[in-house]
Amino acid sequence: MHTLVKRVAVGVVTGLFLTSLAASSAFADVPAEISGNGAGSYNSIYIKHKNKCSVYQKNQTEVLTEVESQAHTGGNTANGNTGGDVTIDTGNATSTVTVQVDGGSNIATNPCCCECDTCDTHLWGQGVVISGNGKDSVSSVTVKKKKSSSIKQKNKTQVLTAVLSKAKTGKNKAKYNTDGTVEVTTGNAESTVEVTVTSSSNTLNP
């Protein structure tokens, strides 16, 4: 799993004052303040706040499986016996193939959720203050805020499975036996193939 988190925060504050702008100790608690400027002054503050968060996850699963399974029983020979009983008893021939493929999974928690709102409360909670400026002064404050969140999850699963499974029993031979009982018993021949593929999954937590 590949996770990429990118966050960009930009803050810009510019001021243009034709007359002196008195610095206020309250500015630490207020994001923007224009106060104490002379008559006929022109005062401008421009604030731009940008917050961008990107989350990208990608999974790619490729599986190539080739299985050959064989089980044989039998092929016994009892020929040319005289004056006795002949017994051939073979066991079972069982071939079992199990292939299980689990696709990749993505689990992401959006790191941008509510975080920008918390920043806004701290940054903008006190508002903008314009006070105590002289006659005919012009004061303007421009605030721009932009928040964006982009989350992308991608999964790809490719499975190619080739299975050859054989189970054989029998082909016993009992020929030319004289004066006796011939008994041939073969077991069961079973071939079982099971292929299970679990698809990929994406989970996004808020």
Q: What is the pLDDT of residues 29-47, one digit of tens each?
A: 456 788 888 888 999 888 8
Q: For residue 106, how far is the Cα from the chain centroid?
A: 2
Q: Contact at 8 Å (CB) between 35 and 24? A: yes
The helices-and-strands tally (H runs, E runs) of the chain is 1, 11
Supply 41's token pair: 């002054």
CB atoms under 10 Å from CB of 134, counted, come to 12
User: What mean pLDDT value characterizes the chain?
Assistant: 77
pLDDT for 95: 92
Supply 98's token pair: 């199990």
pLDDT at residue 16 above 70?
A: no
* More confident of the two residues 162 and 125: 162
pTM above 0.85, yes or no: no
State the pLDDT confidence band at 10, using cuts at 50, 70 and 90.
very low
pLDDT at residue 2 above 50?
A: no
Backbone angles phi, psi at 141, to 5 degrees: -130, 125
pLDDT at residue 6 above 70?
A: no
Supply 38's token pair: 């002379």
Q: Contact at 8 Å (CB) between 150 and 51? A: no
pLDDT for 60: 87
The residues pairing with 14 across neighbouring beta strands, listed in sequence order, are 46
pLDDT for 191: 92
Q: Which domain holds residue 55?
A: 2-205
pLDDT at residue 59 above 70?
A: yes
Q: For residues 101 and 150, what is the distance between their CA atoms, to the nearest angstrom?
A: 31
State the total domains in the chain: 1
E strand or H helix at 84: none
pLDDT at residue 160 above 70?
A: yes
pLDDT at residue 102 above 70?
A: yes
